[in-house]
Amino acid sequence: IDLTAPETVLRGTHDDPTNQAADTFSFSSPDGSASFECSLDGGGYVACSSPASYPSLGEGTHSFQVRALDLAGNIDPTPASFEWNIDLTPPETLLSETPVDPTNQADATFSFSSPDGSASFECTLDGAAFTACASPASYPSLGEGVHTFQVRALDPAGNVDLTPASYEWSIDLTAPETLLSGTPVDPTNQADATFSFSSPD
């Protein structure tokens, strides 16, 4: 006579949230002769074996439960369970503060955000590798010329904005020259005076 229900052990769960639509669960029981039944998202229990795979799940919250059954017909009354969220949507990235273009300031500051309040960010300047950053991001003592800043949001599920927010601007630290090309005669008996001038810029 066996009146003891078998235990169910769930192994190999994944990150929560995740951007993977396919999921696989591994499980076992200390009762080596036990069989198993699985349930996905509250559906009925069906016979299953480890590992149990579920391909092409949709976005949203999912739940998995598995229970062991022994040869005497005892069923684990406390199935092993796991609840997780699938997020397949990349976050958006918004730029809210940028330098003036063109500017004579060698320092640049950028402010940015995402509608996804849980997002983190990566930035790049002038084609360098993306690195972790936070808003506002400041870049001091930049050189003259054209510069490009990009920032992308990342959500906790691992989705990355595939269209980073981008801004291009020009730093000009060189003062222009001024040329006088037409002036009044000196001395003159004319009460009106006209001056012509230009700049190589």
Instruction: Name the strand (E) or helix (H) holding 48.
Output: strand 46-48
Closest by alpha carbon to 157, among 62, 89, 82, 64?
A: 89
Q: What is the pLDDT of residue 192?
A: 97
Q: How far is CA 50 from CA 29, 39, 146, 148, 169, in A?
A: 11, 13, 58, 51, 57
Contacts of 164 (CB under 8 A, 6+ apart): 93, 124, 150, 151, 152
Q: Any idea what DSSP says for residue 185?
A: -
Q: What integer pLDDT is reported at residue 12 of this predicted model? A: 77
Q: Are 105 and 49 in contact (CB under 8 A)?
A: no
pLDDT for 23-61, tens place per residue? 999 999 999 999 999 999 999 999 999 999 999 999 999
What is the predicted pLDDT for the residue at 47? 98
Give CA–CA dist 50/13, Å, rounded: 13
Sequence-distant (≥ 6) Cβ neighbours of residue 136 within 8 angstroms: 97, 109, 110, 111
Q: How confident is the model at residue 195 (pLDDT cuts 50, 70, 90)?
A: very high
Beta carbons of 193 and 180 less than 8 angstroms apart: no
Task: Order across the sheet with 94-97: list the strands.
Answer: 94-97, 108-113, 137-139
Please give the share of the chain, as a percent, with pLDDT higher than 70: 100
Query: What number is the average pLDDT over the span 115-137?
Result: 98
Q: Mean of the pLDDT values across residues 102-125?
A: 98
pLDDT surpasses 90 at 14 = no
138-189 pLDDT tens trace? 999 999 999 999 999 999 999 999 999 999 999 999 999 999 999 999 999 9
Coil, strand or helix at 44: coil
13 pLDDT band, cuts 50/70/90, is confident
Give the bridge partners for 103, in sequence order.
171
- 132's CB contacts (< 8 A; 6+ apart) are 120, 121, 122
Which residue in the block uniquely carries the two structure tokens 């949507």?
89
Q: What are phi and psi of 35, to 5 degrees?
A: -110, 180
